[in-house]
Amino acid sequence: MNTTPASSVEMKDVHLAFGEKEILSGINLSVPQKARLVILGQSGGGKSTLLRLILGILRPTKGEVTFKGLTVSRMSRLRLNRMRQKIGMVYQYSALISSLSVRDNLALPLEELTRKSRDEIDQLVDEKLELVGMADARDKMPAELSGGMRKRIGLARGIIMDPELILYDEPSAGLDPVISSVINELIISLSEKIGATSIIVTHEMDSAFKVATHMAMLYQGTIIAADTPERFKNSDNPVVAQFIAGETEGPILQAPQKT
């Protein structure tokens, strides 16, 4: 059977513990194809962990994560590698290899995972650099770039394989408002241009509302709300309302982690 499921990613009752400590305790989440789902949550709440579960880097202690209808934890190594070629990951701190030029950082996955010629690879690298407005940085080393530039290069690398799903870990955290807006616009235009599904984890409200077509809030190990951005904005759930407003008064405790 080879029908395309309506959801790109699904999580069903996903639990994850590190030792005694349960970080995720029953996540249910469905990410429609081509959606830009923003997952909001406190620092240390398990957002990056959630992305690692989708990539199959971590396995749930209970429950199931599926990508395009296939269970990630039941995939063979070969299938997992094939799946990962369809997923682009944009890391919080760009994670560029410092000893490689921008061109070589972007070319690496193409060289390792495809049989494309050097010319074809160069063309794809240039294309992606163009998309993020960084064509001039092609021959620079990561150390020569500012944080915002590195972030854009990280984004270009995340989409180098034309992924069906792009995972963004705090894409605009720590950037100035202008660069942050540039990144937000890129997230939107990339999802539209390559028709990819996007999952963006963040605790930055401005960015969240700019890019989201769907929103979910992770709190104390579960998804306590999943809705449209409009309904999120007017949510009467006290946790959601407090988080969005950034209030200190409310149900969210200062200490974010469960012990």
Ligand X SMILES: Nc1ncnc2c1ncn2[C@@H]1O[C@H](COP(=O)(O)OP(=O)(O)OP(=O)(O)O)[C@@H](O)[C@H]1O
Among 13, 44, 231, 247, binds ligand X (CB under 6 A): 44
Please report how close the Cβ of residue 239 comes to ligand X at its closest, in angstroms: 15
**Candidate list 9, 14, 23, 110; residue touching ligand X; CB under 6 A:** 23
**For residue 19, what are the CA distances in angstroms to 13, 23, 67, 208, 219?**
19, 10, 26, 32, 20
If binding is defined by CB under 6 A, does position 257 make contact with ligand X? Answer: yes
Residue tagged 């799903």 (tokens)? 165
DSSP H stretches of helix in 194-247: 205-211, 229-233, 238-245
Contact between 147 and ligand X by CB under 6 A: the answer reads no
Residue from 47, 84, 150, 157 binding ligand X (CB under 6 A): 47
Report d(CA 35, CA 7) in Å as an integer. Answer: 9
- Out of 2, 3, 43, 254, the only residue in the binding site for ligand X (CB under 6 A) is 43
User: Which partner, ligand X, Mg ion, none, binds residue 163 by CB below 5 to 8 Å per kind?
Assistant: none
Q: Least separation, in Å, of the C-beta of 114 and ligand X? A: 31
Letters for 72-111 (x = contact with ligand X by CB under 6 A, - = none) are: ----------------------------------------
Residue ranges of the alpha helices (H) in the chain?
47-55, 77-85, 102-113, 118-131, 147-158, 177-193, 205-211, 229-233, 238-245
**C-alpha span between 90 and 130 (Å, rounded):** 17
Smallest gap, in angstroms, from Cβ of residue 47 to ligand X? 3
Chosen residue from 8, 9, 39, 46 binding ligand X by CB under 6 A = 46
Listed ranges 8-16, 18-26, 44-52, 225-233: which one lies at the site for Mg ion (CB under 5 A)? 44-52
Count of residues of this chain found to bind ligand X when the rule CB under 6 A is applied = 12
3-class secondary-structure state, position 60: coil
Is the CB of 102 or the CB of 155 nearer to Mg ion? Answer: 155
Helix (H, G, I), strand (E, B) or coil at 36: strand
Q: Is 18 in the site for ligand X (CB under 6 A)?
A: yes
Q: How far is CA 58 from CA 86, 91, 99, in A?
A: 18, 16, 28
Give min distance, CB of 202 to ligand X, in A.
Answer: 8
Per CB under 5 A, 48 contacts Mg ion: yes
**DSSP at 3:** P
Q: Which one of 7, 49, 184, 191 is in contact with ligand X (CB under 6 A)? A: 49
**Cβ-closest residue to Mg ion?**
48
- Of residues 20 and 112, the one with the C-beta less far from ligand X: 20
- Toward ligand X, which CB reaches closer, 113 or 239? 239
Kind and range of the H or E run holding 4: none
Burial of 109 by CB count in 10 Å (0-12 exposed, 13-18 middle, 19+ buried)?
Answer: middle
Distance separating alpha carbons of residues 134 and 153, to the nearest angstrom: 7
* Contact set with ligand X (CB under 6 A): 18, 23, 41, 43-49, 203, 257
